[in-house]
Amino acid sequence: MDLKLVLAKEIKSQALSAWSEEDIYTLIETPKHAHLGDLAFPCFKLANEWRKAPVVIAEELARELSSPLFSNVEAAGPYVNVHFDSAFAGKEIVSSILEQGVRYGSHSFGKGRTIVLDMSSPNIAKPFSMGHLRSTVIGNAIANLAEKCGYETVKINYIGDWGTQFGKLIVAFKKWGDEEKVKENPIADLFTLYKKFHEEAVQDPSLEDDGRKAFKLLEEGDEEITKLWKWFKNESLEAFKIIYSLLGVEFDSYNGEAFFNDKMEEVVELLNEHQLLETSEGAKVVRLEDETLPPCLIKKTDGATLYATRDLAAALYRQREYSFDEALYVVGQEQTVHFKQVKGVLAQLGYEWANAMKHIPFGLYLKDGKKMSTRKGRVILLEEVLGEAITMARENIKKKNPNLKEAADVAKEVGVGAVIFHDLKNDRLNDIEFSLEHMLTFEGETGPYLQYTHARAQSILRKAGVSTTFTFDGLDDSSSWEVIKQLRLFPETVERAWKNYAPSILAKYLLELAKSFNSYYGNSKIINNDPKQESRLTLVFAVASVLSQGLNLLGIGSPQEM
C-alpha cells in the first residue's frame, strides 16, 4: 500500500478538490524524525491560492483530515503531520508485499519504452582496472532499475578496439614481444609491452612515429598487422568476460569502435549536405550553436576521423537499430564537453532524438590522490581486487561458519558484493580514493553487512520451520513499525533511484532497512509461540524479500546462509 497516495486522496477529497492527486502526492514529505509523524504535507504553496498564512492553512487541514488509517493528525507550524495506525496500516503494507512478491517495488511507466546504455567500454590489450569498475557497476545497476520500472534495456559494451595506441602496441610487440609469453598470460604481457613502449619513447621519440605508421597500416588492412590486432582483441575479450562473469554483468552488444569504421563517411556526408562542415587550420569542424562549447572536430588535418565522428556514427546506428527512447552514456565526467558536442551536432542535423541522449557522469577512483593511468603504470587491477576480496570472505567464513555448505559460492557472492557495494553506496559524481582496507571491511555500511542481515532473516525463518505461506495480522510495537515504514519506502526509492540515475539512493535505503530490522531483531523475541509470532515471522520474510530484491538491483547476490 502506498500511504502517500492514501494521504493525497484524503487531502484531495477533503480540501483540495481542484488539485490533482499527483500534484498533492509530489508535495508530501517523509519527516526525518519519527516523532514528527510518518508523513507531512507542507502548506506553503497554498498560501497565495487560499490567501491565508501556511500556519493557518495547516491548522484547518489538520481538523478536516480523517481516515481509519490515521492515528493522529496535527498541525506543526506550516506542516500537517500525519501518524498512521501502525497495526492497521502495517497490515495493509505487509499484505501488499506478500501479494506482489518479486513485483513489489515495480513500476509500469517505462512499459513500451527502450533504454540503450553505453557502459563499461574498456580498451583491449589493457587489463581491466578499477577505473572501469564504476562505469560497469553503475551502468548495470541503472539498467536493472530501468527494467524494474518497465523499460526494455540494451546494454552496449563499446569496446576501445581502435586507435593509435594499437599501432604503438604492435610496434612494442614486434620489437620486444615473445609470442609464447603473450599466449601464456596475454593481458599482463601486452600491458607490460604497452608500458615499455612509453618508457622507451621518452628516450627515443621516433617510436611515436613508428606507432602512427603501424596504425596507418592497420587502417589500410595490412595482413600481418591486422592479424596481430585481431589476436590482441580476442585474447582481451576472453579475459574481460572472466571479470564480467564474476561481476554478474552481461551485455547485449560488444560492438566496439572498429565496428563503426565503415559508417563514419555517412556522418561526413550528412554534415556536408547540411553545410555544417567548416575548415579550420586544415581540419574539418562543426561550430556549435552553444558558443560556450569549442567546435566539434570531425576530421584531422591528415583526413583521419576522431572520437566524435565515431560517436556520431554510433548514435545514428543505435537509433536505427533499437529506436531508443533514451540513450544513456555511463562515462566519466571528464567527457562532459565531448558529449555536449556530439549532442549539439546531432541537434543541428535536425535529429530531435538527440535530446534523449544523456551523459551519466561519475567520479574517478584515485590512487594517492591522483587519477589512475595505464600509460604510467599507476593502475590497480580489478581482477586482483576481486580475487583478494573473495579470499578474505572465504577466510571469514572458515572462522565464523566452518561447516557452511557451498562456502566457495558464498565467498564469491560476499567478496564481489563488497567491491560492488563500496562503489555504489557513494554518490556517483564523487571521486573515490582507492582503499582496499575500506572496500573489504565486512562491518558497518558495507555489502556484507546487508548480505548478513538477509542471511540472518533466512536463518530465523528456517529455525521457525515456517512454510511458504505467510499471513500478517498486524503488530503494534514501535520497533516493528519502524521496519514497516522502511518497507513502505521501497517502491518510491526504486523510482527515485531510477529517475536520478543514482544507485546510491537505493544502496543507502537498504542500509536503513537493515539497521531498522537489526534493531527490531535485537529488541524483540521473534520466535515466542504467542499469537503474534506468525505476524513477526511474516515481517521477517518481507524484510528478506525486499533486501534480496534491492541487492539484486545493485547487482549483488543475497546468500541464504553466511
Q: Does 327 map to a domain? A: yes
If asked whether residues 313 and 454 sit together in one domain, one would say: no
Identify whether residues 441 and 527 lie together within a single domain.
yes
CA distances from 295 to 285, 315, 337, 544 (A): 6, 19, 11, 53
Asked if residue 24 belongs to a domain, the reply is: yes
492 and 387 in one domain?
yes
C-alpha cell of residue 234:
580476442
Domain stops at, among 63, 84, 105: 84
Q: Does residue 91 lie in a domain region? A: no
Q: Is residue 184 part of a domain?
A: yes
pLDDT at position 66 is 87
Let me know whether 181 and 214 are in one domain: yes
Examine the domain organization and report whether 390 and 512 are in the same domain.
Answer: yes
Residue 101, domain member (yes or no)? no
- If asked whether residues 137 and 161 sit together in one domain, one would say yes
Q: Is 217 found in the same domain as 309?
A: yes
**What per-residue confidence (pLDDT) applies to 309?**
94
- CATH at 311: 3.40.50.620
Q: Greater confidence, 90 or 184?
A: 90
Judged against a pLDDT cut of 80, whether residue 467 lies above it is answered with no
pLDDT, residue 378, reads 61
> Is residue 513 pLDDT above 70, yes or no?
yes
7-21, 124-138, 160-174, 537-551: least confident range: 7-21
The pLDDT assigned to 374 comes to: 56
Report angle CA 141, 146, 148 to the nearest 5 degrees.
95
326: left (phi over 0), alpha (psi -120 to 50) or beta: beta
pLDDT tens digits, 357-372: 999 999 988 877 777 6
Q: Answer yes or no: do 330 and 392 share one domain.
A: no
- Identify whether 99 is part of a domain: no
CATH number of the domain to which 31 belongs:
3.30.1360.70
pLDDT value for 442: 73
Q: Kindly indicate the confidence band of residue 439, based on its pLDDT and cuts at 50, 70 and 90.
A: confident
Give me the residue label for grid cell 566519466: 332
Q: What is the pLDDT of residues 33-54, one digit of tens each?
A: 888 999 999 999 888 888 899 9
Comparison of pLDDT for 337 and 125, the residue scoring more:
337
Which positions ≥6 away from 73 have C-beta within 8 Å?
62, 65, 66, 80, 81, 82, 83
Q: Residue written as cell 562505469?
A: 135
* Domain end point (choices 62, 84, 106): 84
Q: What is the CA radius of gyration of the chain?
A: 28
Q: Is the pLDDT of residue 398 over 80?
A: yes
pLDDT tier at 101 (50, 70, 90 boundaries)?
very high
The reply to whether 132 and 15 lie within a common domain is: no
Q: Nearest to residue 487, comparing CAs of 110, 98, 85?
A: 98
Between β-strands 357-360 and 365-367, what pairing exists: parallel, antiparallel or unpaired? unpaired
Residues 142 and 281 in one domain: yes
Residue of 173, 166, 253 lying closest to 218 (CA atoms) = 166
Q: Please, which pLDDT band fits residue 373 given cuts at 50, 70 and 90? A: low
Mean pLDDT, rounded, for 64-93? 93
Q: Tell whether 182 is covered by a domain.
A: yes
Residue 340 in domain: yes
Find cell 513485483 and name the residue.
103
Which pTM value belongs to this model? 0.93
Three-class secondary structure of residue 201 per DSSP: helix
Query: Does residue 468 register a pLDDT over 80?
Result: no
Please say which residue of 46, 64, 84 terminates a domain: 84
CB 277 within 8 A of CB 285: yes
Q: 243 and 175 in one domain? A: yes
Q: How far, in Å, CA of 135 to CA of 47, rounded?
A: 45
Residue 17 has pLDDT above 70, yes or no: no
Using alpha carbons only, give the angle 325, 329, 334 rounded to the nearest 5 degrees.
150
CA distances from 338 to 374, 509, 554 (A): 22, 34, 28
Sheet (strand 283-286) strand order? 277-280, 283-286, 296-299
DSSP-derived secondary structure letter, 334? G
Cα torsion angle, 507, 508, 513, 516, sign: positive
Task: Cell numbers for 398, please give them.
Answer: 572458515
CATH of residue 424's domain is 1.10.730.10
Note the pLDDT of residue 68: 86
Domain carrying residue 15: 3-84
The per-residue pLDDT for 376 is: 58
Going by the DSSP 8-state scheme, the letter that residue 327 receives in this structure is: E
- If asked whether residues 360 and 397 sit together in one domain, one would say no
Three-state SS for 289-337 is CCCCCCCEEEECCCCCECHHHHHHHHHHHHHHHHCCCEEEEECCHHHHH
Number of domains in the chain: 3
Euclidean distance between CA atoms 215 and 38, whole angstroms:
64
Place of cell 509500469: 108
Q: Tens digits of per-residue pLDDT, 210-264?
A: 999 999 899 899 999 999 999 999 989 998 999 999 999 999 999 999 999 999 9
For position 352, what pLDDT does the model report? 97
